[in-house]
Structure 1
Amino acid sequence: MSTSTCTIDVNQLRVGLYVHLDLGWMDHPFTLSNFKLHNEEQIQKIKGIGLKTLRYDPKRSDCPPLPVKSNLNLIKPVLAAEQALAHAEESAVLAETTEPVIDAKLLRHKQLHHAIDESEKKFVVASDTIKNIQRNILSSSKQCLEQATLLVNDIVESTLCEGDIAIHALNGNRSSDAHYQHALNVTVLSMILAKSIEISREDAQLLGLAAILHDIGKLEVSDKILLKKDPLTHGEHAHYQLHSEFGARMVKSIGLSPRISKIVLQHHELADGSGYPAGLKAEQTDPLARIIVLANNYDSLCNPKNMSGAKTPYEALAYMFAHQRSKFDEDLLKRLIKSLGVYPPGSIVKLSNEQYATVVSVNPNYPLKPYVKIHSRQGKDEEDVIVDLREEVNINITACLKHAQIPAEVLKQINPRKRVSYFVDQAPETAAA
């Protein structure tokens, strides 16, 4: 128990006190166990729980608690009996009114967990599919293209053909850093961008196949170069850059359309002409290639080969906008920032109630109000609560943090993944309807 808190009688509660409920999450009708009282309804709910005493934090309160009531009112036995009866009736009524609140909160909590869990299952399957395609595309091209087409169709259906989508940062129990696939991340990010613009289903499918296969040319680049940790020599870098041309030729050889081959060829061309292999400017490249260029660069900043130089999702978007804006289609860059939100999935944030949380999902229509996983201070046995910040009037994000800004004990508890993986699905409220 914190030494900064004091124990008070439940009848001393008043609006403005910062209280701590030393109860399990399911034993009270509030989203959090410690918060500032904003109205009388909250006070009545606390009294309805049946607590006689509770803790409050003087430093975080706006006022002192009410004075302790005199016991002189209890001298008359009849009055005492009447008060006891009234209190019992009040508690019974409040218990009836708070129970549905607990049930509704539990249901919502389960819905959010279920939506993210289902998305993670699909992500693991998609990751395994991508891995199989990368391994066997040359020896079993027909089968691999069928797998790629089915995967793309599923992502297109989930992203473009539904209403609101949720962009999930995978960080649950079913997947790990081992499931990270650059090609899958680029495909998902490309589809997120595709949803934000006018694009036909046919173009979306072309975009998806090109995104999955954009790095296929690396199959012809030596592992000595691909896995090298030290900076590449000039000759090695020049050979590495050939993977765009290798990929375009390979895509054409396995029977895909000339347009997909062109997009693969151009996936490193930058808007200002500083890219490769031809140094083309934005207007000289395929519009779908410009989408992949943006998605590819964003994922490479978040998940570089050397993870010591990785940027958080928030840092990556800020860096691209502040320092690399001329290299990308500016309209697409703004759309990516809007879609991923001010607090991109995978970001670690600090909340207005001083707790830390991970942004697990974002609905692009509500960029300031993502779904966050609030990390319990009770220890690993206490389940983290997933909260839709649109539903929390009194909680907001005050800061999006770099790893260096997170206290060591908090970082150890959160244990964030080294790599950020994304997947899309229907928004949880749609999925639960």
Structure 2
Amino acid sequence: MNKPQAKPGELPIEASQVRVGVYVRIPLSWLDHPFLSSSFLVTSEDQVREIMALGVAVFADAKRSKVMPAAPPKAADPAPDEAQQLELTLVRQRQEAQRAAKAQRAKVMADMRAKLDIVQKQYMSATEQTAGAFKQFDARPAESVRVVREVAAESARSLLADPDSAIILIADKAKSQGEVAHALSVMTLSLLLAKQLELPEGEIQLIATAAMLHDIGHHSINPSILRNPARNRHEEAVFQTHARAGFERLNAMAAVGAQLPPAIAEVALYHHVREDGSGFPQGTKLAQMSRAAKIVAIANRFDNLANPVDPRTAVSPFEALGVMWAREKSAFDELLLQSFIRTMGIYPPGTLVQLSDQRIGVVVATAPPSARLCPQVLIYDPDTPRREALILDLADPETAQQLKVDKALRMQERSEDELDYLLPRRKMNWYRGNTG
């Protein structure tokens, strides 16, 4: 085994030199020590004794330490007396129990990662099917609608069959399917809100299909206009025609053998209409808007805030909820918006957070209803491959005793290295899954 090496700015020290105020790094695997992190600021004498009982040399980070390590012991220092030996023995016994508990938590974490992998595969399958359907929509509209309805129906059935469905962050660095990713995210967010509202299964399935097809009118718009974040008045007027184009296109499906409920076409028409009279098409009466259209409008706006055409203007999911509630509340059905915020949780998946021990991470799954402030967080650690990164469940009672979310962070304030690790796609896509 290679001897652990000091990193820039670190000093190798003996365990006996550790004292409160020294920032240490323990050169052991996560399972071989009792702490939540291998690098941390020592804040108590109990931690000092725990480090000494490990019996290994450690590294001190001079810049992050509040005090310098103690002087190294003299060669002539006497051996520990009987009382000290007993204390060391008790500490080591406690550490063994802690290691066993940590091994159990590691198993839970592995199970959690396996569930995230399953959701990832389900998402990729749905992406491939939907991408194929959208690509051939002009040539084979009836077949395309059939595929989209199957993806939507399967998502709705899975959601209703799973009482612990959560919203999962999809953050792979795979090639982005922008139009498809948006459709799947809006469907997922709409489904979770529909479930929160305890809507009938038939309505939930309709909402899923409508969410998938809400932007089908984009196919009538020049892609250069869709990709332009600074459209002029003429381009904006052209862009706004996609709502009615989608409505007309979906209404015409009956002519090609793909009968759709009128409510699905109406969602395409009204998903940009706002309760305060803004939005488009202009002059739409609010009474005309179905509940499905209002639900999709909320999900669509949230995804567009987090994943705008210009990524430089993106806000975190946490900020997106804040914008919608603080600045745009009057634009949406307030009761539906309240339910949506409850569904997403205080820290939605994709939110960068700083924990109470100063580590940063990204929320990968919504918190359970009983612990809205305790999501699952993937921890940034440049020394660990992202695939093996620590995932902390802050709802776990033992973890909750030591850690909590200190604050949400803005993407624009983080380094490229951190963003590449935590949000490799930079875009945030969501899919439903079970992490319970």
Q: TM class, shorter-chain normalised?
A: 0.7 to 0.9
The farther-off stretch of 366-375 and 96-105 is: 96-105
Matched position secondary structure for 2:28? coil
Contact kept in structure 1, 2:419 and 2:426, CA below 8 Å:
no
- Aligned length, in residue pairs: 419
The offset of 1:378, in angstroms, is 2.2
The one of 24, 33, 36 aligned to 2:29 = 24
The offset of 1:55, in angstroms, is 5.2
The offset of 1:412, in angstroms, is 5.4
> What is the TM-score normalised by the length of structure 1?
0.83
Instruction: Give the corresponding residue for 1:375.
Output: 380
Instruction: Give the corresponding residue for 1:242.
Output: 241
**Partners of 1:344 and 1:166 in 2: CA distance:** 10
Matched position secondary structure for 2:395? helix
Overall identity of the aligned pairs, in %: 27
Residues 72 and 229 (structure 1 numbering): CA distance in 2 closer, same or farther, change over 3 Å? Answer: closer
Matched position secondary structure for 1:363? coil
* CA distances 1:110-151 after superposition (whole Å, capped 9, x unpaired): 112111111111111111122112122343233323322221
**Partners of 1:160 and 1:334 in 2: CA distance:** 21
Contact kept in structure 2, 1:340 and 1:364, CA below 8 Å:
no
Instruction: Give the corresponding residue for 1:404.
Output: 412
Does structure 1 residue 107 correspond to structure 2 residue 107?
yes
1:388 is matched by which residue type in structure 2?
D
The one of 298, 317, 322 aligned to 1:313 = 317
**Partners of 1:91 and 1:349 in 2: CA distance:** 33
2:184 is matched by which residue type in structure 1?
L
Instruction: Give the corresponding residue for 2:4.
Output: none
Instruction: Give the corresponding residue for 1:260.
Output: 264
The one of 387, 392, 400 aligned to 1:387 = 392
**Partners of 1:198 and 1:121 in 2: CA distance:** 27
**Partners of 1:172 and 1:101 in 2: CA distance:** 31
Residues 99 and 321 (structure 1 numbering): CA distance in 2 closer, same or farther, change over 3 Å? Answer: closer
Does structure 1 residue 327 correspond to structure 2 residue 331?
yes
Instruction: Give the corresponding residue for 1:418.
Output: 426
The offset of 1:17, in angstroms, is 7.5
The farther-off stretch of 383-392 and 138-147 is: 138-147
The farther-off stretch of 244-253 and 412-421 is: 412-421
* CA distances 1:345-384 after superposition (whole Å, capped 9, x unpaired): 1122222212221111113513211111111142648932
**Partners of 1:355 and 1:115 in 2: CA distance:** 24
The farther-off stretch of 138-147 and 92-101 is: 92-101
Residues 160 and 71 (structure 1 numbering): CA distance in 2 closer, same or farther, change over 3 Å? Answer: farther
Contact kept in structure 1, 2:165 and 2:433, CA below 8 Å:
yes
* CA distances 1:14-39 after superposition (whole Å, capped 9, x unpaired): 8x976542212232243311346788
The offset of 1:315, in angstroms, is 2.3
Instruction: Give the corresponding residue for 1:291.
Output: 295
2:126 is matched by which residue type in structure 1?
A
The offset of 1:183, in angstroms, is 1.1
**Partners of 1:272 and 1:117 in 2: CA distance:** 42
Q: How does 1:32-431 map to 2 (within 5 A)?
A: 32-35=37-40, 50-54=54-58, 74=79, 93=93, 97-172=97-172, 175-178=174-177, 181-228=181-228, 230-234=230-234, 236-254=235-253, 255-365=259-369, 366-378=371-383, 380=385, 383-391=388-396, 392=399, 393-407=401-415, 410-411=418-419, 413-414=421-422, 416-426=424-434, 428-429=435-436
**Partners of 1:45 and 1:9 in 2: CA distance:** 10
Residues 207 and 3 (structure 1 numbering): CA distance in 2 closer, same or farther, change over 3 Å? Answer: same
* CA distances 1:232-284 after superposition (whole Å, capped 9, x unpaired): 333x4333322222212221222101222222221121111222224335444
2:251 is matched by which residue type in structure 1?
K
**Partners of 1:100 and 1:405 in 2: CA distance:** 38
Residues 61 and 140 (structure 1 numbering): CA distance in 2 closer, same or farther, change over 3 Å? Answer: same
1:249 is matched by which residue type in structure 2?
E
> What is the TM-score normalised by the length of structure 2?
0.82
**Partners of 1:114 and 1:382 in 2: CA distance:** 11
The offset of 1:64, in angstroms, is 9.5
The farther-off stretch of 19-28 and 209-218 is: 19-28
Contact kept in structure 2, 1:376 and 1:383, CA below 8 Å:
no
The offset of 1:70, in angstroms, is 12
1:312 is matched by which residue type in structure 2?
S
Matched position secondary structure for 1:177? coil
The offset of 1:11, in angstroms, is 9.9
Matched position secondary structure for 1:404? helix
Contact kept in structure 2, 1:29 and 1:101, CA below 8 Å:
no
| Structure 2, gaps ≥5 residues long | 1-6, 254-258
The offset of 1:51, in angstroms, is 1.9
Residues 314 and 5 (structure 1 numbering): CA distance in 2 closer, same or farther, change over 3 Å? Answer: farther
1:133 is matched by which residue type in structure 2?
A
